[in-house]
Structure 1
Amino acid sequence: MPEKLAFWSIPVSLFVLLLKVFAWQLTGSVAMLSDALETVVNVVAATLAFFAVRIANKPADRRHPFGHRKAEYISAVAEGVMIIFAAFLILREAGAALSNPHLDDVPIFGLVVNAIATLINGAWATVLLRAGRRNTSPALIASARHIFTDVFTSLGVLVGLGLALVTAWLILDPLLAIVVALNILWEGWKVTRESVDGLMDVSLTDAELTAIDGLIRANMQGALQYHDLKGRRSGKAIFAEFHLVVDGTMQVDAAHDISDQIETAMVAVFPASTFLIHLEPDSELHMT
């Protein structure tokens, strides 16, 4: 499912790009140009996301025993960098237009074309975001968030150009493009930061650690204590480890059964995840 959606993002983004380029040619608006430039990034990002999702879904192999899931983070980082680059391109175009703001003769039709592109973008972003959250796919989520940024950009452009036409204050066009660029820059920074966190093995969230803690406590009957829980996420998979303290006289197979019981419960909640349990004797009990 994620791979199919990632593939269809490519033709959808191309179609939206064509509509926005057409809208820009009809209006001559630098704000419309900025909107189209951001959609160019969408096309490249959609292509990257497709290949990243394909790679991430490959099973573990001898060279990659922990799987290929981090490919999605690499794609998301690249997308964030491209978003930032697009923002600087828009700032350059808007700065050049400040001294000579203008619109062409058919702006109303251009606004209608841009509005259609925005509706298509909004619907597709909603589909991607729901699928990305359902499948814990960083690449799909990053693409959806970027497209939503594009949607809000387009809405701002439509409102701003409408005001420029009503008031005849054409300076609103390049000023609006600058606001758009700053918003895109902020979104690019957020996407890049979050994706780098994934590559750097940032810790699981407090909610995820609390959920794992609850599963361990509910299934550790026969053990004395657990401690030193830590974990990280790689795409939809979780890698977590902790120390489980048992009676020093307990048979190895009995201690192993307890570990299996805990691991089975956790994998049921976090499929395709890996949990490492380090057994310790009661001499390692931590005083609370």
Structure 2
Amino acid sequence: MTVATVLVALKIWASWRTGSSAMLGSLADSALDLVASLTTFFGVWIAAFPADRDHRFGHGKAEAVAAMVQVMLIGVSIVLILLHSVRQLNEGARVAAPAEGIAVSLVAIALTVGLLAWQRYVLRRTGSVAIRTDHVHYQSDMLLNLAVIAALVLDGVAGVVGADPVFGFLIAGWLGYGAFRAAGEAVDQLMDREWPEERRQRLVELVATYPELSNLHDLRTRISGTTNFAQFHIDMDPHLTVAEAHDVIERVERELSGQLPDTELFIHIDPLGYKDTQNPLVEENEFTRLGRGAR
């Protein structure tokens, strides 16, 4: 938020001095960065709340909501950039004071490099989808600021007519591409998309190491914020008492949680040979897919 505030102030001045479409686009992007960072802050803050009576699975999806708000804000900035670029192209307006605009863009690049390094560190520690979306946005800022410099040099120094609005169009297109990519993971979380196949297979392989468990089926997985959820049915010896079966599952859940950090497991016990439903999606034996036979 601090970086975005500084950049907004600098780019307001630079836009006033240069009249550049590319610089105005960069200003709009930084202004929306500030709003997006505020949204990210509150999204991550709310997502960190523990589960409560009304949100038994926690508040992790607040991060995905924050990411979608950022995507919508990027869309607003794209429209503003395109409108200004079209007007500038029609009027044949030229940029002024290119040196001042270039200096502001260089400062913006330096600040953004520092911010991206910090965000990469945070992502390694948390895996936050909201921070990842913010990171994608600031990565695009690097190219955006380089594009602004190129536009100012071509239009204001080299005298290439129309270079600045053309770069405005290119910047808008790049932002649109970044928004499309950033929206994907947030939508996956909101729609409870299954884990990537390699992560699902890793869970099945770990469960397969327990000889007292068989026929892992109805495996369902999802991600909410930084927490992974997995639930599945497992067949066990029908002659075990409830207490004995409970003790086995408690041990399995405890040991699996140690190998799969930030994962909540829900394991349902079926007596060996029992069929819940004729739905093949539910009854599919994940151990068979591993090549472990009918176990």
Please say if 1:102 is aligned against 2:94.
yes
CA distance in 1, matches of 2:34, 2:145: 16
1:86 is matched with which residue? 77
Structure 1 regions of 5+ residues with no counterpart?
Answer: 1-9
Q: Provide the TM-score with structure 1 as the length reference.
A: 0.90
1:114 is matched with which residue? 105
Q: Provide the TM-score with structure 2 as the length reference.
A: 0.88
Please say if 1:268 is aligned against 2:254.
no
* 8 A Cα contact 1:227 1:244, kept in partner: yes
2:13 is matched with which residue? 22
2:272 is matched with which residue? 282
- What is the percentage of aligned positions where both structures have the same residue? 29
* 8 A Cα contact 2:236 2:270, kept in partner: yes
Please say if 1:41 is aligned against 2:32.
yes
2:216 is matched with which residue? 226
> Partner of 1:81: helix, strand, or coil?
helix
Mapping of residues 151-162 of structure 1, within 5 Å: 151-162=142-153
2:56 partner letter: P
1:191 is matched with which residue? 182
Residues 49-102 of structure 1 deviation map (CA, whole Å, 9 limit, x = unaligned): 111111111111111111111111111100001101110110000000102130
* 8 A Cα contact 2:67 2:182, kept in partner: yes
CA distance in 2, matches of 1:265, 1:208: 17
Measured after TM superposition, the shift of residue 13 of structure 1 is 0.9
Residues 121-140 of structure 1 deviation map (CA, whole Å, 9 limit, x = unaligned): 12202311331342121111
CA distance in 2, matches of 1:178, 1:264: 54
* 8 A Cα contact 2:189 2:223, kept in partner: yes
Structure 2 regions of 5+ residues with no counterpart?
Answer: 276-284, 286-292
CA distance in 1, matches of 2:202, 2:151: 46
CA distance in 1, matches of 2:127, 2:260: 11
* 8 A Cα contact 2:94 2:161, kept in partner: yes
Over aligned residue pairs, what C-alpha RMSD do you find? Answer: 1.8
1:68 is matched with which residue? 59
CA distance in 2, matches of 1:178, 1:158: 15
Moved more, 154-163 or 72-81: 154-163
* 8 A Cα contact 2:14 2:101, kept in partner: yes
CA distance in 2, matches of 1:162, 1:214: 58
* 8 A Cα contact 1:132 1:141, kept in partner: yes
